């Protein structure tokens, strides 16, 4: 992803955040409208995505990952501090599968890159806490702004001769904006749009990768995510949902680590990488 495109995403999120706060100030009366169910919501379901990872030196991994998610949310009945209804969400997502690896194995003795096609087994676990506020713009239209604290663990097991395991760990913080139209067309159908940005800065001590050769500081990592939540209420407390999404991760690349090989110290480095994923969640929700 080009830097200009990333900047446009960040700018859009920032502008949308400012607009939503501005609209809140001019729509004080509209905040009295009902903007969806309040109280506690529990959710769970299937998670799946087409995962495509690529390194700057040419290595690629691609294939479908399967998994699940569980979540809990809380929305207050009334406005808090005049900012809108308090909105809290905690979600854990786990994805796994064996996918195709096309790339190179590095000969540590010579530094040569040897072409290789094999499989990798991926395990990705992500837990996030979102905290923010929702405001009503009309009886069935709302917007919200939120902050993000999260942690992502990625276990990457490259199979075959010369195979090895990478374990990526990165904590992050972020911001997001979202909008929702309730009771759209059919009674009980809700449609939303969610844009978010996450960052693991270079100085973060929890943004690193380990493998058989050592531990690497992975520099700056950032993420852009777009979701389109679709929900249908089957009753007062029960609903089903489908959420297609696009997810992008970028790592700038690690520091240099000296690896001991037959008594020699060989400098190694994890290259920069990008991950593009298209996926969806299918789930059920119960509201108390």
- Domain of residue 213, CATH code: 2.40.128.100
pLDDT at residue 7 in the model: 46
Q: How far is CA 226 from the centre of its chain?
A: 9
Identify the pLDDT of residue 258.
84
Reported as type and span, the H/E element at residue 181 is strand 165-181
What local confidence, expressed as pLDDT, does residue 256 receive?
86
C-alpha angle with apex 38: 42 to 18, nearest 5 degrees? 105
pLDDT at 12: 53
Over the stretch 12-69, which tens digit does the pLDDT of each residue have?
554 454 444 444 434 433 444 444 567 999 999 999 999 999 988 778 999 999 999 9
pLDDT cut 70: percent of the chain above it: 82
Whether the model clears a pTM of 0.75, i.e. scores above it, the answer is yes
119-144 pLDDT, tens digit each: 999 999 999 999 999 999 988 899 99
What is the SS3 assignment for 240-277? Answer: EEEEEEEEEEEECCCCEEEEEECCEEEEEECCCEEEEE
Count: domains in the chain: 1
CA distance 226 to 57: 27
pLDDT at 130: 98
CA distance 176 to 280: 19
Low-confidence residues in the chain, pLDDT < 50: 1, 3-4, 7, 11, 14-15, 17-35
Give the structural domain span for 130: 3-287
Provide the pLDDT for residue 6: 52
Spatial CA neighbour of 248 closest among 53, 64, 56: 53
Question: Which pLDDT score, from 0 to 100, does residue 8 have?
Answer: 55
- Whether 113 contacts 7, CB under 8 Å: no
């Amino acid at each position: 992803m080009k830097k200009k495109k990333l900047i446009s995403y960040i700018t859009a999120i920032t502008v949308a955040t400012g607009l939503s706060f501005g609209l809140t100030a001019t729509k004080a009366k509209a905040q009295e409208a009902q903007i969806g169910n309040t109280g506690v919501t529990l959710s769970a379901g299937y998670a799946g995505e087409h995962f495509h990872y690529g390194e700057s030196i040419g290595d690629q991994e691609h294939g479908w990952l399967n998994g699940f998610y569980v979540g809990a949310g809380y929305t207050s009945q009334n406005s808090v501090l005049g900012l809108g209804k308090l909105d809290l969400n905690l979600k854990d997502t786990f994805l796994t599968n064996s996918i195709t690896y096309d790339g190179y194995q590095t000969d540590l003795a010579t530094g040569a890159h040897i072409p290789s096609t094999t499989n990798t087994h991926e395990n990705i676990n992500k837990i996030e806490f979102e905290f923010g506020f929702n405001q009503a713009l009309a009886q069935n239209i709302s917007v919200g702004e939120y902050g993000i604290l999260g942690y992502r663990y990625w276990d990457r097991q490259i199979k075959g001769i010369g195979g090895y395991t990478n374990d990526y760990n990165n904590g992050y913080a972020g911001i997001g904006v979202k909008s929702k139209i309730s009771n759209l067309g059919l009674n009980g159908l809700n449609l939303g749009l969610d844009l978010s940005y996450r960052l693991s800065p270079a100085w973060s001590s929890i943004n690193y990768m380990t493998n058989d050769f050592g531990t690497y500081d992975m520099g700056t990592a950032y993420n852009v995510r777009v979701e389109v939540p679709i929900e249908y209420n089957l009753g007062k407390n029960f609903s089903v949902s489908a959420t297609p999404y696009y997810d992008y991760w970028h790592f700038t690349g690690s520091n240099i680590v000296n690896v001991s090989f037959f008594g020699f110290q060989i400098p190694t480095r994890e290259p920069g990488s990008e991950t593009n994923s298209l996926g969806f969640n299918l789930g059920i929700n119960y509201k108390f």
